Amino acid sequence: MLPDGIDLVEPRWPAIAAMVAIVGLRFALPPALSLGPDWISAPVVGGFLLAITVLHRSGRMRANQIMGYVMLAIVTADMVTSLTLLIIRLPAHRESPRELLVAAMGLWTSNILLFACWYWRLDGGGPNARDRRKSHDSGAFLFPQMEIHIHNWKPGFVDYLFLAFNTSTAFSPTDVPVLSRWAKVMMMVQSSISLGTVVILAARAVNVL
């Protein structure tokens, strides 16, 4: 049964799948790029996802929202730490070209998935708030569907994934203007992380040549 006031619940499984993928990508990193053992992220993220799902199904939306923020903050800190360690170790050539390529691509992909989760979790009050509205006509991002006023349209996780992908590849939101200051700051952070991984690959390629 849906909580009172909610007409249609947005599916949560795409965001869950993204977090599971991030955990899987962490196992591809060399052990030296993690502060703890590789396996530690699996039970931590798994525990958060279980708690978030239970809170959502029980209608405790505020607690669900807070737990989502905490989980994403922990995973973001872990990813930034891995990227920092990779950059620090780069001049010493401690990783083989294959390890470097796998690590950089893993962090680049994780960056896309993680910030897609952030945008999905924050825009318009997050999925819990969007569930209570029949359509999405205001938020941090101006999607094209909002401009042409498509009836009962609301963004889903794939829309935020597309936004995050464009930010990491083109270093800009392309067809989705950014309206909120917090969103602009987060997109700058995402672009910086993406640029960092690209620079690592370029520097290593030049060194090999």
Say whether pTM exceeds 0.85. yes
Q: Which one has a higher pLDDT value, 197 or 8?
A: 197
Would you say 114 and 193 are in contact if contact means Cβ atoms under 8 Å apart? no
Q: Is the four-CA dihedral 65, 45, 27, 204 of positive or negative sign?
A: positive
Confidence band for 84, pLDDT divided at 50, 70 and 90: confident
Residue 6 lies in a domain: no
Cβ count within 10 A of residue 82: 21
Q: Is residue 5 part of a domain?
A: no
Q: How confident is the model at residue 4 (pLDDT cuts 50, 70, 90)?
A: very low
Q: Is residue 7 part of a domain?
A: no
Q: What is the mean pLDDT of residues 107-129?
A: 94
Residues spanned by the domain of 41:
13-208
For residues 131-166, b (16+ Cβ closer than 10 Å) or e, as one string?
Answer: bebeebeebbbebebbeeeeeebbbbbebbbbbbbb
Please indicate, yes or no, if residue 170 is contained in any of the structural domains: yes
Mean pLDDT for 3-7 is: 48
144 belongs to a structural domain: yes
Q: Is residue 178 part of a domain?
A: yes
Residue 1: inside a domain: no
The residue count of the chain comes to: 209
The per-residue pLDDT for 85 is 86
Residue 195 counted as domain residue: yes
Q: Are 3 and 132 in contact (CB under 8 A)?
A: no
What confidence tens digit (pLDDT) does each residue in 10-69 have?
899 999 999 999 999 998 888 878 877 878 899 999 999 999 999 999 999 999 999 999
For the chain, how many structural domains are there in total?
A: 1
Amino acid letter for position 57? R
